[in-house]
Homo-oligomer: A and B are copies of this chain.
Amino acid sequence: MTSRQALPAGALTAWASYLRGHAALSRALNARLVAEHGLTLNDYEVLLLLSRAPDGYLKRVDLAQRVLLTPSGITRLLGGLESAGYVEKGSCPTDARVTYAVVTEVGLAKLAEATETHLADLEELFVTRFDESELALLAELLGRLAGDSEGEHCPGGARARNT
């Protein structure tokens, strides 16, 4: 790191307008997602994460870390997804403390359905302002602010708990 200098002069202002821009963007995206599919941006994000996880399950703690919610936040969010039938609870045979979140078929279908319009929204609202390389760059830089972590997998697999 070169000169241990203060932030550039307009930093406060730049940050402020960034904040505004972001608020507008994510609010719009969220609103559309809710209106068209009844999913929150975070709901969507969680579904996406689960769909990509091996075997479609993730520890609730890890999930929380990945979407940057507190444990209680995840509990409530998953509560919603569960009662909608998009995810189920799974238990780990080797550690009774952990509860997994497992995507259901219905959940995957919902995700696919939502993805279609969400990608379009994303393109319209966000991507029009940046080209591909800028987008990648932005993602990389901002991604650096949120530490990435791997989720551990349960040796015995997650067993869906049939209520």
Contact = CB atoms under 8 A, between A and B. Distances in A.
Contacts of A134: 141
B119 A4 contact: yes
A11 B135 contact: yes
B147 A2 contact: no
Given A67-B20, A142-B22, A136 B4 contact: no
Given A7-B119, A7-B127, A22-B145, A139 B14 contact: yes
Given A19-B26, A22-B22, A26-B19, A8 B145 contact: no
So how many copies of this chain end up in the complex? 2
Interface residue tally on A, bucketed by range: 35 or more
Given A7-B119, A21-B147, A119-B7, A142 B45 contact: no
Given A14-B139, A130-B144, 5 more contacts: A3-B132, A7-B126, A14-B138, A16-B45, A18-B146
30 contacts: A1-B112, A1-B115, A1-B132, A2-B132, A6-B119, A7-B119, A7-B122, A8-B132, A8-B136, A11-B126, A14-B138, A15-B126, A15-B139, A17-B142, A17-B143, A17-B148, A18-B138, A18-B139, A19-B45, A20-B66, A20-B68, A20-B143, A21-B139, A21-B143, A21-B145, A22-B145, A27-B68, A125-B145, A129-B145, A137-B137
The 8 A-B pairs at the shortest CB distance, nearest first, are namely A21-B145, A21-B142, A17-B146, A14-B139, A17-B143, A18-B142, A20-B146, A24-B146
